Amino acid sequence: MTYKSMPKVEIHHHIEGAAPPKFIAGLALEKGIDISKIFDADGGYAYDGFGEFLATYEAACTPLTGPQEFYRLTQAILAEAAEHGVVYLETFISPDFCGGGDVAAWRDYLAAIEQAAAEAEHDAGITLRGIVTAVRHFDPDQANLAAKCATETAGDFITGFGMGGAETHLRPADFAYAFDMAREAGLQLTCHAGEWGGAAMVAETIRDLGVTRIGHGIHVMQDPNLVAEAVEKGIVFEVCPGSNVSLGAVTGWNAHPIAKMRDAGLKVTVSTDDPPFFHTDMTREFTLLNRTFDWDVVDFSALNKTAMEAAFCDDATRAKIAEKLGDAQ
């Protein structure tokens, strides 16, 4: 059975990380930028381990030089996601790669992304929302600039604030100011934690940043007390199994804790993170969950429902997603 046509809700996805390597290679050629070393012999992204992944990721962003490039990128990723049945997508967008943290420049990038999103909603029925995202290893001052961009543009499209990057760089509390700014602007909060850091990193992220969602969070399972706390607080885990396997955060699909997380009562969702980097898409994630854990349509409907309920969107949008999920199941 193929799960391609089943409607899906995806809430952990990086806009730059979703850029097809061919798209980036083509842009680099247009602009005379030599980033040939980031591609392997098959034209895919080349890296070995998380450190190299981050370096390749940042190099892949260099041809994304202006709003027009993000317009084209958004068109490409939404067409691809819609092909895999995604009806609602939340993507992380970093002001660092969209104007360097300058609010005026950021507004121009955002306008281009929103334009492409509006067109894709009309043409392909996929809804996009943006989560402004700080890059942790760029340090707290830069995170504060990202948060400022987020607060200035919070609204119907920018609905959340988060942070990715090198998880073991500094502690969550070092970024509290950025998250406080975002919260005060009414944005909803998520942060990568427990992908590379242990359960303590998840605990500090919940406590010091006040997030309601955790990106990845797989190492929460090291601490049964924290699991109980996360269950009690209704924390939602944005789990990306294919990403974890590809980057080596787990040793393989069989070793992935997602089934144990769900069985422990945690709220789990499934997303692709950076699909072309991990040679994945939402259809493949569902297919491998089926092969590994025997999950099927009932389980995937539950994942969709959890993601829909946890989505950083208004109630009218949530009702629209519910309708799309309901109609097709």
Which is nearer to ligand ADE, 73 or 321 (by Cβ)?
73
Binding residue (CB under 6 A) for ligand ADE from 127, 142, 190, 243? 243
> Considering the rule CB under 6 A, would residue 14 count as an interface residue with ligand ADE?
yes
Cβ-proximal residue to ligand ADE, closest one: 164
Residue choice 90, 114, 274, 281 for contact with ligand ADE (CB under 6 A): 274
165 interacts with, out of ligand ADE, Zn ion, none, CB within 5 to 8 A per kind: ligand ADE
Q: Looking at the annotation, which residues are catalytic?
A: 195
Between 114 and 195, name the residue whose CB sits nearer to ligand ADE: 195
84 binds ligand ADE (CB under 6 A): no
Strands 127-135 and 158-164: parallel
Instruction: Of 113, 115, 119, give the one whose Cα is nearest residue 132.
Output: 113
In angstroms, what CA-CA distances link 281 with 4, 49, 249, 277?
Answer: 9, 20, 18, 10
Quick check: 190 binds ligand ADE (CB under 6 A)?
A: no
Helix 224-233 crosses helix 199-209 at what angle (to 10 degrees)? 30
Instruction: Report the partner that residue 84 touches, choosing among Zn ion, ligand ADE, none (CB closer than 5 to 8 A by kind).
Output: none
Two tokens at 189?
Answer: 């909060």
Check residue 167 and report its DSSP letter.
T
CB 202 within 8 A of CB 171: no
Question: What are the two backbone dihedrals, phi and then psi, of residue 16, each rounded to the nearest 5 degrees?
Answer: -70, -35
- Based on the shown chain and the rule CB under 6 A, indicate whether residue 285 belongs to the binding site for ligand ADE: no
Residue 173 per-residue DSSP state: G
| Contact between residue 188 and residue 155 where contact means Cβ atoms under 8 Å apart | no
Contact 282, 81 (CB under 8 A): yes
Task: Name which of 7 and 10 has its Cβ closer to ligand ADE.
Answer: 10
Burial profile 60-77: b = 16 or more Cβ within 10 angstroms, e = fewer: bbbbbeebebbbbbbbbb
In whole angstroms, the minimum distance from the beta carbon of 136 to ligand ADE comes to 8
**164 contributes a contact to ligand ADE by CB under 6 A:** yes
Helix axes 176-184, 140-153, angle to 10 degrees: 10
- The answer to whether 182 touches 161, Cβ cutoff 8 Å, is yes
| Closer CB to ligand ADE, 96 or 274, in the complex | 274
Contacting positions for Zn ion (CB under 5 A) = 164, 273
What residues are paired with 90 via a beta bridge? 129
Q: Total binding residues for ligand ADE by CB under 6 A?
A: 9
Residue 203 has phi, psi (to 5 degrees) of -60, -45
CB-wise, 214 or 321, nearer to Zn ion? 214
Candidates 90, 96, 195, 281: give the one binding ligand ADE (CB under 6 A): 195
Least CB distance to ligand ADE at residue 17 (A): 5
Q: What would the two tokens of residue 158 be?
A: 């920018």
Q: By C-beta, is 28 or 150 nearer to Zn ion?
A: 150
Binding partner of 219, given ligand ADE, Zn ion, none, CB within 5-8 angstroms per partner class:
none
Please, what is the minimum distance in Å from the beta carbon of residue 148 to ligand ADE?
A: 21
With CB under 5 to 8 Å by kind, the binding choice for 195 among Zn ion, ligand ADE, none is ligand ADE
- Cβ proximity of 146 and 96 under 8 Å: yes
Contact set with ligand ADE (CB under 6 A): 14, 17, 164-165, 192, 195, 243, 273-274
